[in-house]
Amino acid sequence: MVTGQTHPDEARQWEKTMATATKEQETEFSIIGKRNPKIEAHQKASGETRYAGDIKLPRLIWAKLLRSPHPHARIRSIDASRALACPGVQSVITGADMPVTIGIMPTSQDEHPLAVDKVRYVGDPVAAVAAVDEETAADACRLIDVAYELLPPILTIDEALTREDVKIHEHSRRANVHREVHLDFGDVEGAFAEADHVQEDEFFFEGTTHAAMENYAAVAHWELNDKLTLWSSTQVPHYLHRELAKVFEVPKSRIRVIAPPVGGGFGGKSDPFSHEFAVALLSRRCGRPVKIVLDREEAFYTHRGRHPVRMHVKTGVKNDGTITAVHFQSILDGGGYSSYGLASTYYTGALLGVTYRIPAYKFDGTRVYTNKPACGPKRGHGTTQPRFAFECHLDKIAEQLGLNPVEYRKKILTPPYSETVNQLRVTSSAANECLDRVVEASDFGEKFRKLPYGKGVGVALSCYISGAGLPIYWNDMPHSGATIKVDRGGGVTVYCGVADLGQGCDSLLAYIAAEELGVEPGDVRVVAGDTDLAPVDLGSYSSRVTFMAGNAVLDAAQKMKRQIFAAVAENLEVPLERLAASWGQVYDTDDRTRCVTFEEAAILAESACGTLATVGSYKPPHLAGNYKGSGVGPSPAYSFTSCVAQVEVNTDTGHVRVEKLWLAHDCGRALNPVNVEGQIEGSAYMGLGEALLEESAFRQGLHKKPSFLEYRLPTFLDMPPVESIIVENPDREGPYGAKEAGEGPLNPVPPAIANAIFDAIGVRLDATPFTPEKVLRALARVPGGRGQGTGSAGIAGRTEQSDPRGLSRRRSSATESRPTATANGAGS
């Protein structure tokens, strides 16, 4: 494959295959693509669903964690005698009881289940108590005497980059740098020299948190036969399983992790957490089941949310806008531990080329440790921040060159079936159509630069992975496995290790099995999120489940279908290829009166081949490039989303109101349009919150907003109408052509809003969130920027206000970026 080039043969061939396949399938689908309710919808609408926090077992006792009040301190001693003397207290444990390092990435293991020797953020768990009830456990925590030796806290990126005298982790070679990555593709210097213009900008994306409505909860039962069962609100039962075995040094076969329905994850439940290890050990010590439910404030400190990222973007363009080179620098404020940070760092530089043709590319990423809660993956993991930066940056370039922002984007799109300069294989893409559809729906052409002063529209495009091409720990096994069992009553059970967080994966797996076997989704039972019962799925993260678990279930279902059809073909004396299955029947397509019910078919098949169970699995093709770091970014397929935002800015108060959002999302095929719309709308909501309201901000290591009153999630009153447009362009490798929908649609929302604000009032907001203060500050820098509320400003006038010096300079006078933001040190 050649960079940025379509492979005409391949593309044509696939288009042809897909066109036929699509046409054939469309007439045939009975479940796929239909607006079915989720299989668990009625339980959820009746309060019947049992989340981890709802579990009650006989002899259950409660646990509570003691957390550090200091951002950075050495633990001198811990004395639990007063706590242990409390009536009702069963056990107290500390870091010394589990002195094994853990971490989600095998290459950065820098955490302990409970702090050993040192605490690295306010809230770092130090000890845990089990007691007869939650209050007793909480009271006892306060009686644990911990002697701390305070250390100077590192609280900002700049301190982290320069303070050699204070090390949060001893392994940092330079100051408090966690990781530095440098990648270089093509002749970057030469390509910048060829450019007619060079645009440079600074951006800052503020940290935010997941704030799933369900708090973290776990119940452990270490039975006397030395087997542990842990129920936890986790997105990654499989990884948790591995970490538990490591910490407790017991065979994995003795541990069972169950993820009951999870009350929202968004990436926040993807790490192994202190409370999970604590309840397991306490249960082992006490011989009783132990339960813990974190409170809301603890959830804000547990965090693993979006990294605050400072970014410097430099792009060389020809006069017609063609990109010659991009140099992208990012510095991530990682907090106290690494979590997924290595992947997050690479992700900030990985995917820009998937949307736009970039022939030469340089990336420098640095992640630093600070004494704050650790950051990790949040919906859009590591790609949301650079997407914000790059889409605003492109908008500026378009503005400078006098190009329409939509036409400009369309002109520089990465074509389908091509390879990016950083060796990512791009396959199906309907990015072009996404832009067309969203422009049409929003009437963008009629509004852009034409609305009265104070009102504006903005556009952005983005992409996301349908699962990571490589697993977190290196292995040759499938990324997802599934078993299907058919019983004599025609009941179908799907077993798969995925965890349903509300994204609806249990239902999707049921739809796939139902479609293949010709039964109704309600006839399919899904056993998920259980490491004992279900084959491994790596977890519900990276938008991987529809694609990967979907393919695994499809594989198993097709094998089952072949077995059943073989038996039915013989019985009905019909050639196998003439059989089809739907609505509970297996029938001859030439003569529908020749048929058996699915139950009869199952009996025929079981009589012929014995007990009916099949397995399926999915492993992505080999996708990694030939350089270090090429493991982050590859995906078997990318989704694309475009967004238009329409805003109204009150120039007196600085308040930005989003009037409407339009999103068009290329999900390959919508297995259930209701679910896809739900993912688009939920993503739009979360993107809007990050753009306007939310920030995980800290003062002296203390969270400034550790509650819903202070950390402002958009409410029913804040949320504008969202028009979600599903663009179907079946992918050749996705199940029925499906790609991801759960994360991608978040990414274009913050930049579309920023670009709309520029259209409305002629100022650039290059740092999220776009608070009234920032809007007013930016307006104050524009000559005549305030008080222009009357009449509309012409495009030329507005451009002048905001960007009087044209291209090739670092910051426009009307740009509101973080005042201290410099990329100094990134990559140097």
Partner 1 sequence: MKQILHLRVNGQPFEVLAPVHHTLLEVLREEMDLTGTKHGCELGECGACTVLVNDVPTLSCLTLPVEVQNAEIATVEGMADGSTMHPLQTAFAENGAAQCGYCTPGILMSARALLDRTLEPTEDDVRQALSGNLCRCTGYTKIIDAVLQAGRDLKLRRAIHPT
| Chain residue whose CB lies nearest ligand FES | 213
Helix (H, G, I), strand (E, B) or coil at 732: coil
Is 264 a binder of ligand FES (CB under 6 A)?
yes
Is 267 a binder of ligand FES (CB under 6 A)?
no
Work out what residue 744 binds among ligand FES, partner 1, none; the CB cut-off runs from 5 to 8 Å by kind. Answer: none
Looking at beta carbons only, is 95 or 504 nearer to partner 1? 504
CA distance 799 to 399: 8
CA dihedral 505, 507, 510, 516 (to 10 degrees): -90
From residue 721 to residue 750, the character string flagging contacts with partner 1 as x (rule: CB under 8 A) and all else as - is xx----------------------------
Q: Over the range 683-702, which residues count as b (16 or more CB within 10 Å of their CB) and which as e?
A: bbbbbbbbbbbbbbbbeebe
Segment 201 to 220, residues that bind partner 1, using CB under 8 A: 210-215
Q: What angle do CA 245, 246, 251 make, to 5 degrees?
A: 40
Looking at beta carbons only, is 38 or 393 nearer to partner 1? 38
From residue 26 to residue 65, the character string flagging contacts with partner 1 as x (rule: CB under 8 A) and all else as - is -----------xx-xxxxxxxxxxxx-xx-x---------
Shortest Å, Cβ 636 to ligand FES: 28
Residue with tokens 């350089």: 627
Segment 183 to 222, residues that bind ligand FES, using CB under 6 A: 213
Locate 447 and state its tokens: 């509004």
CA distance 541 to 548: 11
Shortest Å, Cβ 528 to partner 1: 14
Shortest Å, Cβ 291 to partner 1: 11
Looking at beta carbons only, is 380 or 682 nearer to ligand FES? 682
| Length of the chain counted residue by residue | 828
Work out what residue 261 binds among ligand FES, partner 1, none; the CB cut-off runs from 5 to 8 Å by kind. Answer: partner 1
Q: Which of residues 1, 615, 674, 780 is near partner 1 by CB under 8 A?
A: 674
From residue 235 to residue 264, the character string flagging contacts with partner 1 as x (rule: CB under 8 A) and all else as - is --------------------------xxxx
From residue 488 to residue 517, the character string flagging contacts with ligand FES as x (rule: CB under 6 A) and all else as - is --------------x---------------
Work out what residue 625 binds among ligand FES, partner 1, none; the CB cut-off runs from 5 to 8 Å by kind. Answer: none
Strand order in the sheet with 290-293: 89-94, 125-131, 61-67, 290-293, 217-222, 228-232, 255-258
Contact 570, 530 (CB under 8 A): no
Looking at beta carbons only, is 186 or 264 nearer to ligand FES? 264
Looking at beta carbons only, is 563 or 683 nearer to partner 1? 683
- Part of the chain binding partner 1 (CB under 8 A), chosen from 119-127, 445-453, 495-503, 607-615: 495-503
Contact 479, 537 (CB under 8 A): yes
Looking at beta carbons only, is 298 or 399 nearer to partner 1? 298
Query: Strand locations in 138-193, DSSP E?
Result: 145-150, 177-185
Q: Over the range 406-445, which residues count as b (16 or more CB within 10 Å of their CB) and which as e?
A: bebbeebbbebbbbbbbbbbbbbbbbbbbbbbbbebbebe
CA distance 724 to 729: 16
Looking at beta carbons only, is 105 or 702 nearer to partner 1? 702
Segment 693 to 722, residues that bind partner 1, using CB under 8 A: 707-709, 713, 715-717, 719, 721-722
Contacts of 193 (CB under 8 A, 6+ apart): none
DSSP lists the bridge partners of residue 612 as 486
Is 593 a binder of partner 1 (CB under 8 A)?
no
CA distance 584 to 489: 12
Looking at beta carbons only, is 171 or 296 nearer to ligand FES? 296
Looking at beta carbons only, is 184 or 295 nearer to partner 1? 295
Work out what residue 253 binds among ligand FES, partner 1, none; the CB cut-off runs from 5 to 8 Å by kind. Answer: none
Contact 168, 369 (CB under 8 A): yes
Shortest Å, Cβ 687 to partner 1: 10
294, burial (CB in 10 Å: exposed 0-12, middle 13-18, buried 19+): buried
Strands 638-649 and 656-668: antiparallel
Nearest to 516 by CA among 580, 567, 442: 580
Shortest Å, Cβ 534 to ligand FES: 23
CA distance 221 to 226: 10
Site residues, ligand FES (CB under 6 A): 213, 264, 502
Site residues, partner 1 (CB under 8 A): 37-38, 40-51, 53-54, 56, 210-215, 261-264, 266, 293, 295-296, 501-504, 674-675, 677-678, 681-686, 707-709, 713, 715-717, 719, 721-722
